Amino acid sequence: MKTKRLLAMSLAVNVLLTGIFAVLAFIYRDKIAQRFVSIKGNPTIIMYGNSITAQGKWVELLHRTDVMNHALPGQSTYHFLQLIQSHVVALHPKICFLKGGINDITVGVAQQKIQKNLKTMLETLIQNKIIPVVTLTVYEQNDPHSKSEVDSLNHFLITYCTKQKITYINLNQYLADSSGLKAEYAVDKTHLNEKAYVIWAREISKVLKQKGI
């Protein structure tokens, strides 16, 4: 009788631990997948940007295991430029999705500096035979000054990308209205919710299909 109770307790503990492991694996599935991509090396796709990019669960969203999220939360385009060699170029991806600028705008970095940093990064990617794709800067919620600065930056990016035949993604046409980022796609003034990431991933998938990647 005692042996049966011990067996039953052991089984219950094993079931509980298995359940906990399954739940944790589900919650952290993208981080686990990212670890796998990191160990495997040579990702096909690199996502490079600030916290808005960092918070995307790109393995899950894109249904691929060859995508590396190397975003830098809280950083500006200056930091992206300083780390692009180690975070992108050294990994030899086929394509890099680049998004940045809102942190620069928030702390008052001049447009000329932001634009120069982004231009230099795009040139660096092209020189290293990495396909660059720009995701235009997304508006913040209800911030006219920020919106004006974003418009100036995006105008530069559209003009530059068009001239250089670089593909760009404009999320504002889906996520924003005349006042800025729509509340239905936001978790706060600046960051995106899951609905927004699904739209973003859809646009990325279109680009990947167009480029045969």
Domain with 102 in it: what CATH number?
3.40.50.1110
Higher pLDDT: 157 or 12? It is 157
- Say what the pLDDT of residue 140 is: 98
100 and 169 in a single domain? The answer is: yes
66 and 28 in a single domain? The answer is: no
Give me 75's structure tokens. 């950083």
Q: Quick one: pLDDT band at residue 24, thresholds 50, 70, 90?
A: very low
Report d(CA 188, CA 180) in Å as an integer: 12
pLDDT at residue 146 greater than cutoff 80? yes
25 and 49 in a single domain? The answer is: no
68 and 94 in a single domain? The answer is: yes
What are the tens digits of pLDDT across the range 159-211?
999 999 999 999 999 999 999 999 999 999 999 999 999 999 999 999 999 99
- How many structural domains is the chain composed of? 2
Give me 208's structure tokens. 């990947």
- Say what the pLDDT of residue 28 is: 47
- Say what the pLDDT of residue 23 is: 39
pLDDT at residue 19 greater than cutoff 50? no
Percent of the chain whose pLDDT exceeds 90: 80
- List, as one string, the DSSP characters of 14-30: HHHHHHHHHHHHHHTHH
Strand partners, 45: 67, 95
147 and 61 in a single domain? The answer is: yes
130-139: b (≥16 Cβ within 10 Å) or e? bbbbbbbbbb
88 and 162 in a single domain? The answer is: yes
114 and 27 in a single domain? The answer is: no
Question: Residue 16 is which amino acid?
Answer: L
105 and 18 in a single domain? The answer is: no
- What DSSP state is assigned to residue 74? T
153 and 173 in a single domain? The answer is: yes
What are the tens digits of pLDDT across the range 70-115?
999 999 999 999 999 999 999 999 999 999 999 999 999 999 999 9
137 and 121 in a single domain? The answer is: yes
Q: What is the arithmetic mean of pLDDT over 127-148? A: 98
62 and 17 in a single domain? The answer is: no
- Say what the pLDDT of residue 42 is: 76
Average pLDDT, the chain: 88
Q: Is 77 within 8 Å of 50 (Cβ atoms)?
A: no
57 and 6 in a single domain? The answer is: no
Report d(CA 138, CA 152) in Å as an integer: 12
Domain around 16: 1-40
